[in-house]
Amino acid sequence: MPGRRSEPPTEPTTAEGSKGVGLAVAGVLVAFFTALPLVFIVVLYLFVTVYAIVRATGPGSGENPITIVVGFVLLTSLFAVLLAVTVHFVGRSITPAKRRSRS
């Protein structure tokens, strides 16, 4: 009947899922967050190396600390945004689609 609402379930609902899948996801996350500082350091080292090469071949002498600080801030922000986008898409793919009830 139109306008009739179904009653909420009286029994507690449990989340269905595989324990193995949960452990696999946890393992991937631990490996990812363990490797993240290493990747971050490598990217920062690469940035400083490229900056030093460009600065050495260009006119003028000396380094500009503002450029290095801005580069570090931009790389850190990039990693944070990439992490947020990854979490968004992984969470979106894991969350099941809501289905309409056929009442």
pLDDT tens-place string over residues 55-93: 888 887 677 788 889 999 999 999 889 888 888 887 776
pLDDT for the residue 103: 61
> For the chain, what is the domain count?
1
User: Is 60 among the domain residues?
Assistant: yes
Give a yes or no: residue 44 inside a domain: yes
Distances (CA, A) of 40 to 59, 60, 95: 30, 30, 29
12-62 tens-digit pLDDT: 555 666 777 778 878 888 888 899 899 999 999 999 999 888 888 888 767
Q: Which two tokens stand for residue 96?
A: 């099941």
Decide if 48 is inside a domain: yes
20 located within any domain: no
- Residue range(s) defining the domain that contains residue 80: 31-94
Instruction: Name the residue among 63, 60, 42 with its Cα closest to residue 52.
Output: 63
Type of residue numbered 88: H
Looking at the domain assignment, is residue 35 inside a domain?
A: yes
Residue 58 lies in a domain: yes
Measured between alpha carbons, how far is 42 from 65 in angstroms, rounded to an integer?
Answer: 19
Let me know if residue 21 belongs to a domain: no
Residue 5 falls inside a structural domain: no
